[in-house]
Amino acid sequence: MPRSPAPSLRWRAGAVVLAVAMSLATPTVSGYQLVRGPEFVWAPELRPVGYWVANAGSHWLTVDQVVAETRAAFDTWQASEAMGLELSYRGKTNQRPFDFFDATNTVGFSTPERMAQLGLSQVTLAVTSWVSAIGRGVIAEADILVNPVYTWTDIPDSGFWDLRATLVHEAGHFLGLGHSGVGRVGDHGLVAGSSVMWPYTFGRGSSLGRMLTADDVTGAAVLYPSPEAPTGSIRGAIHRDSGERVRYAHVVAYEPLRDHTVGAWADGEGNYEIAGLPDGRYLLRVNPIPAHHGDGAYFFPYGQTDRDFSVTVVAQFALISGGQATEINIEVLP
């Protein structure tokens, strides 16, 4: 049975800070989740994208330890050859995370006072903000703020909160990713194979979140395609037997030979697209948002998700060949 995540295990989702106004408009959602659509990427003129580490340690870690873990977290994404974006460490800074419009993408610890000032809850482990350029909708600045009140560690599986695992998740937001529905929940929480962009942490003492899955890498590759690897996509509509569309369903494509699992979210009209898929024969499965997850955990408008249908496995394989798009409409079981 899936366990309900305790509030203290929650990450704060990436807050959206706009140069003009706070926007909570319905995001254009596709895979693994592109939080605000495939255009929500770093401005081309700001690439390679630099990041800095705040010159402030915590009770548990020195600044140099934070630098090492931050670089390791960003390098984890950079290591994927499918992602065509370069990230570059630029050094320590006296700027602090969430000093907005300072043209410094700052990662690091805040103070409890600053957290309170920003209205961030004490159960927030870390939070990523984006500043997007007026009128263009691209990312112009991003910061990652880490809550200093937790017992952080840089030692894997030591029983404390793994800073690197948390920063790998936040670095996914930094790239423009939202939350993924690819999670494998065991008796004691998430197990290996769960996307690092799952909306809840793997828990204190777990270092599983240091490892990207195919779902995470595919999300980054769809935002920043690498020219070498042509990929295909599966798309279509999710509907009931009446023909009525199903809103914000989760669609998973699984390639058994590669053990390759990639999820995507249908939008508010019931259309889905899973992009970034290598050639293969994919099994498709549709499921609603987990019952104990709020709509907000996936940036969906409250009360707009359809959850009253059963997990549905599509009887036919979806074939992707030569990087083409395959269209498959899916009727869900009641």
Give the footprint of Zn ion on this chain (CB under 5 A). Answer: 11, 13
Cis peptide before 112 (omega within 30 of 0): no
Residues 6 or more apart in contact with residue 277 via CB below 8 angstroms = 218, 231, 232, 233, 234, 253, 255, 260, 262, 320
Nearer to Zn ion, 13 or 61 (CB): 13
Cβ-closest position to Zn ion: 11
Strands (E) in the chain, as ranges, are 15-18, 49-54, 87-93, 106-109, 126-132, 139-146, 152-153, 161-162, 185-186, 189-190, 232-239, 250-255, 260-265, 271-277, 280-287, 312-313, 318-320, 325-327, 330-331
Structure tokens at 143: 């910061």
Between residues 13 and 56, which has the closer beta carbon with respect to Zn ion? 13
CA distance 206 to 166: 10
Quote the least distance from Cβ 199 to Zn ion, whole Å.
6
Question: At its nearest, how many Å lie between Zn ion and the CB of residue 211?
Answer: 16
In the bound state with Zn ion, the residue whose beta carbon lies nearer, of 11 and 150, is 11
C-alpha distances (whole Å) from 119 to each of 106, 124, 128, 152 are: 19, 11, 14, 22
For the bound state, the minimum distance from the C-beta of residue 225 to Zn ion, rounded and expressed in Å, comes to 23
- Residue closer to Zn ion, measured from CB, 15 or 18: 15
Kindly state the smallest distance separating residue 13's Cβ from Zn ion, in Å: 5
Q: How far is the CB of 61 from Zn ion (least distance, A)?
A: 21
| Minimum CB distance to Zn ion smaller for 199 or for 270 | 199
